[in-house]
């Protein structure tokens, strides 16, 4: 079956431009997560959507970052006025339920490079 | 502040021997722990998990041990195979997931 897909796989952008990263979760998964992994670092939590509940945005590093999830399925992570420190691999994951007892299935990630 | 720590960035093991990957955490309220495996240019894939009410979970060559008093968990792979070479992340869940920085395992044929 189809796993989590992300697009684009690679994105190079100039400093100051806005970017949108897309995630298609596994059908039927109610939970969706965004992470980023900078070079040599672990996975940094960004935002978590669970069903129709208000998202947990506690991991977003600044107000330049936002995310939405339309119709409980596809999610878009938007970074406005990109900075060089935003360069990282952005990973999306989905799971059947919330954080307790459900493993996450990850997409291949989007590698963002800000020049 | 890192709530989940993997203090060994890398580990090399001979094929057929045991690989032991370690992970420490700080929050005693975590109720679920997971291990993920990551190959280059791919997203992490789930490997094995353990609930905080247990101290051991085994799945084939993979066993996870949880020591709640020490706030420590470990992943044992035996026997190790060259295809096990990857980066291994441990994660803990509470209100969200917390990941360690990963340990790169190399299994030498």
Provide the pLDDT confidence category of residue A1 given band limits of 50, 70 and 90: low
Nearest to A36 by CA among A99, A82, A114, A92: A92
Residue A2 in this model has a pLDDT that exceeds 90: no
Residue B97: what pLDDT? 85
The percentage of residues in chain A with a pLDDT greater than 70, rounded to a whole number, is 96
Residue A103: what pLDDT? 82
State the Cα angle at B64 between B108 and B61, rounded to 5°: 50
Residue B104: what pLDDT? 96
Q: What are phi and psi of B83, to 5 degrees?
A: -70, -10
Provide the pLDDT confidence category of residue A100 given band limits of 50, 70 and 90: low
Please tell me the distance in Å from B109's CA to the nearest CA on chain A.
26
Please give the average per-residue pLDDT across A72-80, as a whole number.
94
d(CA B65, CA B68): 10
Hey, are the CB atoms on B32 and A101 less than 8 Å from each other? yes
- Nearest 10 degrees: Cα torsion A91, A92, A96, A98: 80
Residue A53: what pLDDT? 86
Q: Which residues of B touch A26 (CB under 8 A)?
A: none
**Hunting for tokens 């684009």 — which residue is that?**
A8
Residue A71: what pLDDT? 80
Contact B21, B105 (CB under 8 A): yes
Greater model confidence, A67 or B42: A67
Report pLDDT digits (tens) over B24-79.
Answer: 999 999 989 999 999 988 899 999 999 999 999 999 999 999 999 999 999 999 99
Residue A52 in this model has a pLDDT that exceeds 90: no
* Pick from A44, A99, A106: CB nearest B44: A106
């Amino acid at each position: 079956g189809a796993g989590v897909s992300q697009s684009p796989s690679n994105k190079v952008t100039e400093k100051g431009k806005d970017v949108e990263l897309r995630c298609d979760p596994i059908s039927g998964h109610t939970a969706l997560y965004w992470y980023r992994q900078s070079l040599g670092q672990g996975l940094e939590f960004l935002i978590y959507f669970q069903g129709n509940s208000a998202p947990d945005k506690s991991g977003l590093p600044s107000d330049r970052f936002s995310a939405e999830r339309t119709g409980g399925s596809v999610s878009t992570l938007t970074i406005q006025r990109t900075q060089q420190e935003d360069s990282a691999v952005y990973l999306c994951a989905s799971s059947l339920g919330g954080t307790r007892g459900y493993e996450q299935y990850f997409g291949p990630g989007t590698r963002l490079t800000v020049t | 502040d890192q709530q989940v720590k993997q203090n060994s960035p890398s580990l090399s093991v001979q094929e057929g021997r045991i690989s032991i990957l370690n992970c420490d955490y700080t929050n005693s309220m975590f109720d679920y722990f997971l291990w993920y495996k990551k190959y280059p240019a791919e997203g992490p894939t789930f490997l094995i998990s353990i609930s905080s009410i247990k101290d051991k979970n085994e799945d084939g060559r993979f066993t996870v041990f949880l020591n709640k008093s020490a706030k420590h968990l470990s992943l044992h792979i035996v026997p190790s195979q060259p295809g096990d070479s990857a980066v291994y992340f441990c994660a803990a869940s509470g209100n969200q997931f917390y990941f360690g920085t990963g340990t790169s395992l190399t299994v030498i044929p």
